[in-house]
Amino acid sequence: MAYFFTSESVSEGHPDKIADQISDALIDNFLAFDPESKVACETLVTTGQVILAGEVKSNTYLDVQKIARDTIKKIGYTKSEYMFDANSCGILSAIHEQSADINQGVDKTNKEEQGAGDQGIMFGYATNETEDFMPLALDLSHKLLQELAELRRENNEITYLRPDAKSQVTLEYGDDNKPKKVVTIVLSTQHDDFVKPENNTLEAKIKAEKEMQDKIKSDIVNILIPRLLKKYPQYEAYFNDEIIYHINPTGVFIIGGPHGDTGLTGRKIIVDTYGGKGAHGGGAFSGKDPSKVDRSAAYAARYIAKNLVAAGVADEILVQVSYAIGIAEPMGVFVNTYGTSKVNISDSEIAVKIQELFDLRPYFIEQSLKLRQPIYSETAAYGHMGRKNEIVSKTFTTPNGEEKVMEVELFTWEKLDKINEVKSLFSL
């Protein structure tokens, strides 16, 4: 039976994503100067204020205020009229040392016995409905906002954009469980007050607001969408002239960012993962070093699911892993292929076999996916999954002004380097 499915995304300027990016910038700086750092860092942002809190065990010292300001500046909050400005916002740090009770369960004399940083369940998911093995609705939602951010930074074709934005895409699926077309696109973008009322009357105010809304909708439909499809021609088949667009449906969106809504680390976990497809264990990623399996095991589960789908084990796969705090071996591994399996064994047998190929103890996840690198700032907006695996150069600076340049590999869990081994394992 045909059905509709919807996913949303938020921009790097959304308050919750500002918080995520600050927390992950702190993680990166700690790991750059002390790869063994243990960090759980939370951020709150509101009108003119940033609050940092959390637990850290590290041999390095950081200027956390400068890191936070640099992150906010990079996002684009650089004007006082935004009521949240990198240069003038207040920053309060309440970061303290990590609990020794937790640490004794994680750190072991034999590193291979490193225990999980917490209990919990983590999920990884992959589907072959897109080239990056991600759900199409979420993929499009992310890419719409990434392209919108490019337009904002260029400040050429569209000159009134501000950093805060949200998107949402609804797809129609056919009886074959494959996406057929885009049905609705919702996009709300913060903007300058670029049309002033002719006078102080309510009628003039309504007229000015409608003029702005009409201009924004025209630019989204006639500039953003064509740019998106030119860059990603594989999505053209899903677009048509019957798409319903809801662009800034409330009217004006001038007040936004942390002035319009308080932001917190870890409050966009569905945006970060699969847009509501598959499942989610409830643990956030940003602000956590890889000893926290909320993060590292979720990446490992995605790595497994993606390589299995790419190898042809199934069209769609969900992998669940569970842990007990302080224990290295996972409590259990679960696999669901949603009836799309191409191998002649049960899903429970698939779950047993993948543990022959993938070591899911925390230390081995960290090692195989190179998770002790400073690679997390890039994950903190537009999703942790489905991103480009690449090697980049990053520069970090100590409070004393000393620079450290590092080559790091981003999104290692997106690599398809286990396909041949998976095929051999399942005789494909």
Domain ranges of the chain: 3-9+136-256, 15-100, 120-127+271-425
Collapsing DSSP states into helix, strand and coil, what is residue 5? strand
pLDDT value for 239: 97
Burial of 119 (0-12, 13-18, 19+ CB in 10 A): middle
d(CA 335, CA 322): 12
Written out in words, the top-level CATH class of the domain with range 120-127+271-425 is alpha beta
Residue stretches of the chain with pLDDT short of 70: 1, 98-112
Q: Residues at the annotated binding site?
A: 14, 16, 42, 55, 98, 164-166, 261, 267-268, 284, 288, 292
Binding-site residues for K(+), in ranges, read 42
Helix axes 15-33, 64-75, angle to 10 degrees: 130
Alpha-carbon Rg for the chain, nearest whole angstrom, is: 23
Using alpha carbons, select from 4, 53, 80 the residue that is nearest to residue 259.
Answer: 80
Q: Detail the residues annotated as belonging to a binding site for ATP.
A: 14, 164-166, 261, 267-268, 284, 288
Binding residues for Mg(2+): 16
User: How many CB atoms sit inside 10 A of residue 53's CB?
Assistant: 17
What distance in Å separates the CA atoms of residue 207 and residue 23, rounded to the nearest whole number?
Answer: 42
| Tens of pLDDT, residues 335-376 | 999 999 999 999 999 999 999 999 999 999 999 999 999 999
Architecture of domain 3-9+136-256: 2-Layer Sandwich (3.30)
Q: What class is the 15-100 domain?
A: alpha beta
Where is the binding site for L-methionine, in residues? 55, 98, 261, 292
Please name which of 164, 38, 33 lies closest in space to residue 101, comparing C-alpha atoms: 38
- Neighbouring CB atoms inside 10 A of 185's CB total 22
Q: Scan for tokens 């090697």, then name that residue.
A: 391
As a whole-number percent, the residues of the chain with pLDDT over 90 amount to 92
- At residue 110, the pLDDT reads 63
What is the pLDDT, as a whole number, of residue 118?
A: 84
Token match 């308050």: residue? 15
Identify the CA nearest to 67 among candidates 50, 83, 47.
50
Query: Structure pTM?
Result: 0.95
Q: Are 316 and 308 in contact (CB under 8 A)?
A: no
